[in-house]
Chains A and B, each alone.
Chain A
Amino acid sequence: MAKPKVAFYWCASCGGCEEAIIDLNEKILEVADLINIVFWPCAMDFKYADVRKMADQEIDACFINGAIRTDEQLEMAKLLRKKSKMVISFGACSHLGGIPGLANFYDKHSIFDVSYKAACPSIENPENIVPETKVKVPEGELTLPAFHNTVKSLDQVVTVDYYIPGCSPAPYLTLEAIHKILANDLPAKGSVLAPDKSLCDVCSRNDTKPEKLMLDEINRISLVDADPEKCFLAQGIICMGPVTRAGCRKEGDGRCITVNMPCRGCYGAPNNVKDVGGKMVSALASILGVENEEDYDEEKITKLMDQIVDPAGTFYRFSLPVSMLHRTRSEKQI
């Protein structure tokens, strides 16, 4: 049997997901023996034209990382979808919109203002030039892909068959996925190829939770000396572990937890949670000051909640584009 044809592509991402593939280390040789890489712009010399020339569904499995934020990414996502039997959304940005998705708190114009105009101290741009899709220069017309107003996850623009979550995905999950593809041993389409329980399930600190978990203050990890063995929530530090899918390490605690950092939520929520941020707010609200609820008046509640710095960015750090709201309302809608 011919070796399966595999493609890798990146959209709006930091490049960490490409690194995550390199992080297979010596196993990458084993993988390279099993598959035939037909497209991987980051690592090998392929052109878009090569893809266009392929027959439809010629690629057996296509791993796409990064969010969709420009016309070029949209076009390539659609093209690769057409040319692939299976599209795997790879990494948090592709899966959930990721860190680039936080741009959905703003719109295209305000982002350009900050990045190219006076609001950006490191740029000198007296004419207030911002990227245009077309610009005439003496040599002719230059084009740039259009910059969208809204960042989207991959599955908001094309059908996705499987997801490998994480920022970045744990190499062992990638390897497992590749073996599953080779063995044709895959779960139902649309599945996330990671455990379906939240991080607390594997967390060694879960046993340190008091019988009644209650937060009467919120601490920031950067401002306290966190106990390396105690549940972060029990220390008043917001940990997204309860709403975040486990799987970032093959065994033992989550990656961040092992280095005494609370979970930031990059693996997204377990299957049936619709809105990670909303769920976390709801869970947190349920345990904030729960023991002495009667003593809390409006002022005290506000004071307690004000201790959460940047709630939207904390609770939707990786998932704003796939949240129920997707983005803040644009001026057009208002």
Chain B
Amino acid sequence: MKRIGVFICHCGVNIKDTVDVELLTEQLENYPGVVHIENYMFMCSDPGQNQIKAAIEENKLDGVVIAACSPTLHESTFQNVIEEMGINKYQLEIANIREQCSWVHNDKEEATRKANLIIKTALEKLRLNESLSPVSSPMTKRVMVIGGGIAGIQAALDIADGGYEVLLVEKKPSIGGHMIQLSETFPTLDCSQCILTPKMVQLAKHKNIKLYVNSEVEKVEGFVGNFTAKINRKPQYVNPDICTMCGDCIDNCPVVVPSEYDEGLSWRKAIYVPFPQAIPATFTIDTENCLGFDPIACGECRKACKPEAINYDKKPETFEEKIGAIILATGYDLYPVEKMAEYGYGKFPDVLNGLQFERILSATGPTGGKMLRPSDGKIPKEIVFIQCSGSRDPERHNSYCSKICCMYSLKHAKLYKHKVHDGQPYIFYIDIRSGGKRYEEFIQQAVSEDGVIYIRGKVAKIYKEDDKMIVHGMDTLTGKKIEIKADLVVLAQSMIPSEGVNKLIQNLKLSTDEHGFLNEAHPKLRPLESIQSGFYLTGAAQGPKDIPDSVAQASGAAAKVLALMSQQEIYHEPIIAWVDEEKCSGCGICISTCPYGARALNFDGIAEVNEVLCEGCGACISACPSSASQQRNLTDDQINNMIDIILQDNLENSLEKEDMI
């Protein structure tokens, strides 16, 4: 039998005032297995710890129960104490007689009785505790970043600068994300491309970064420190080593499709460079629209290509990469404006979404930076911006606030005013959210200096009359109906998780909120991690976010990953599931129940536990119909013994045994 020492803490008066510690000491003195018991004012103090050490040595203890505060507070303190004395730290049990007893009771007699039972349950549990050592596995010191927007770029650069290899996987033909589409950024109005492109180039040239564009992650298997990712890459039909970027192919391509980069406001060919500063800087063939894959139909670009860099016969590749951690920077899309029939998007060429307006403002955009409206190329003199388009509207659209629209609508208005001095911008708003450094000043300046007119209220309807867009709304401050004859309308569409992410998230078994944004492990204390170890979140994939926040989060996640990468081995708690192979029938119910994918049938039909994946949640243990699955140091026997000891008094007193058996 274990030689157990019990140490009861007074916690000053916190415990002692409500629990009779002397009586407890007396009551438990002769409890089976207890060879030493004492109480002291502050067990966690230095003298308290020394008393425990002395008692361990003197009585040759091999198990310790500390009756004190919650284990979240001092379990590790006392674990260290007993480890110093050569006892395995899993031979320590904390009996929480403060939060769960003295703090919540007044009646000293009852509280003492309860404290007695709490300590007895800890003793019963400890009796069957095994000595355990943390589960370890080697660390693969490579990181995969999914998504090549600003968040992914920043995270990849930080980790690569830290000396670890990074794979950046981007679905599109170039990195840059949405930020590369923007004209200027709030509140400083510095040029988006000017600050982003150097980072893109730096990334492409970084010796520690491997860039996969036109690629998607199909599947990730394994666990933190030991993931295997399956990546699909669309073929690169143009060999970048031979291609001279002459552009003859573009001139000869007969296929014209709307440009993604310009949000459909300009045209591109089926062979194209996504935008002038694209990284990697190569030509891409859009397989959905290219006719060249049918040699009878086309093949013009290949004919035109003098260095013979084009090859239609390339096939998609699937390859596997070993990585230790994954950063998700999958970004956002705009809420489909087609869903907002009341605003006439798609029907009227002069109703745009925010990104389209960015393109019109941009020097590399369809108008070369001139403020012209799409329908007739005229300069718009009156322009209406509608905030919360698709946001904060739980009945019809999204319930959440997209966070950045207040600022970017204002930025749009300001930039417009800089280009069209005699123009008048109006902004419809519900209220203004300008929480950010220099954000409020940015707004005040726009109102006082640029003459932006704010109208509090929602727009009910937009229709066309002659060449004007008639905007009907209500000013809720004055209660008056408003009608504005606008030349252009810009909708601040809400941000939604980017398209195609759902499939990826399902494959990775990550959790999302009700809107599809990735869930963090803890909203306050672990905002950069997913609940599944080894996955980190950055940028708008986790929720609507502006550039500074995305960059900060990316660097934060990179720091987390660097800390992880600095470990040679990965350790985690051994309080996890194990399976008794003699009892497991392979029914597979645990597999369905496990939220971490830690249970799987082996060749012998036994549902094994992957010790590294298992988080010790216990779901499979309660589900296991034949009790073959057990939690280490929380076995059914231990739990039953603990329950028995609590119910013993009641059982003896209240049941008529003869009748009840």
Contact = CB atoms under 8 A, between A and B. Distances in A.
A287 B589 contact: yes
A198 interface: yes
A241 interface: yes
Interface string A169-190: 0000000000000000000000
B652 interface: no
A196 B581 CA distance: 11
Interface string B646-661: 0000000001100111
Q: Which among B582, B626, B656, B661 has the highest number of chain A CB atoms within 10 Å?
A: B626
Interface stretch (B353-361, B410-418, B616-624): B616-624
Given A209-B588, A272-B636, A330-B659, A286 B626 contact: no
A286 B619 contact: yes
B583 interface: yes
Contacts of B514: 294
Contact of A196 (B582, B586, B589, B659): B582
A212 B625 contact: no
Interface string B582-596: 111111110111000
A89 B623 CA distance: 29
Interface string B463-485: 00000000000000000000000
Interface in B604-638: 605, 619, 622-628, 636
Interface in A285-330: 285-287, 290, 294, 326-327, 330
A282 B661 CA distance: 24
A294 B586 CA distance: 27
A102 interface: no
Given A152-B661, A290-B593, A200 B623 contact: no
B589 A201 contact: no
A214 to B, nearest CB: 6
B592 A197 contact: no
A223 to B, nearest CB: 24
Nearest to A270: B626
Nearest to A290: B592
B133 interface: no
A213 B590 CA distance: 9
Contacts of B588: 200, 206, 209, 211, 213
B640 interface: yes
A212 B625 CA distance: 16
A287 B593 contact: yes
Contact of B587 (A200, A273, A330, A333): A200
Contacts of A269: 626
Contact of A197 (B583, B619, B623, B640): B583
B593 A242 contact: no
A220 interface: no
B589 A283 contact: yes
A326 B661 CA distance: 6
B625 A272 contact: no
Interface string A262-277: 0000000111111000
Interface size class of A (residues with CB under 8 A): 35 or more
Nearest to A214: B592
Contacts of B589: 213, 242, 283, 286-287
A198 B591 contact: no
A277 to B, nearest CB: 11
A219 interface: no
Interface string B514-551: 10000000000000000000000000000000000000
A156 interface: yes
B583 A150 contact: no
A58 B587 CA distance: 45
B626 A274 contact: no
A327 B586 CA distance: 32
Interface in A225-251: 241-243, 246
B585 A332 contact: no
Contacts of B586: 200-201, 206
A333 B658 CA distance: 13
A280 interface: yes
Given A274-B640, A286-B622, A332-B659, A206 B592 contact: no
A156 B661 CA distance: 7
Interface in A41-73: none
Q: Which among A156, A198, A269, A282 has the highest number of chain B CB atoms within 10 Å?
A: A198
B626 to A, nearest CB: 4
A279 interface: yes
Nearest to B637: A272
Contacts of A149: 659
Contacts of A279: 625-627
Contacts of A280: 625
A198 B587 contact: yes
Contacts of A198: 585, 587, 625-626
Contacts of B585: 197-201, 206, 242, 246
Nearest to B587: A200
Given A150-B660, A206-B587, A270 B605 contact: no
B659 A273 contact: no
B626 A213 contact: no
B626 A197 contact: yes
A264 to B, nearest CB: 15
Nearest to B590: A286
Nearest to A283: B625
Interface of A: 149-150, 152, 156-157, 196-201, 206, 209, 211-214, 241-243, 246, 269-274, 279-280, 282-283, 285-287, 290, 294, 326-327, 330, 332-333
Given A197-B585, A242-B587, A286-B623, 19 more contacts: A152-B661, A197-B584, A197-B626, A198-B626, A200-B588, A206-B585, A206-B586, A212-B591, A212-B592, A213-B588, A242-B585, A270-B626, A271-B583, A272-B626, A285-B623, A286-B619, A294-B514, A326-B661, A332-B656
16 contacts: A150-B659, A197-B583, A198-B585, A199-B585, A200-B588, A201-B584, A201-B586, A241-B587, A272-B626, A273-B626, A274-B640, A280-B625, A283-B624, A286-B619, A326-B660, A332-B659
Rank and list the top 7 A-B pairs by shortest CB-CB distance, nearest first: A286-B623, A201-B585, A242-B625, A200-B587, A198-B585, A243-B625, A200-B585
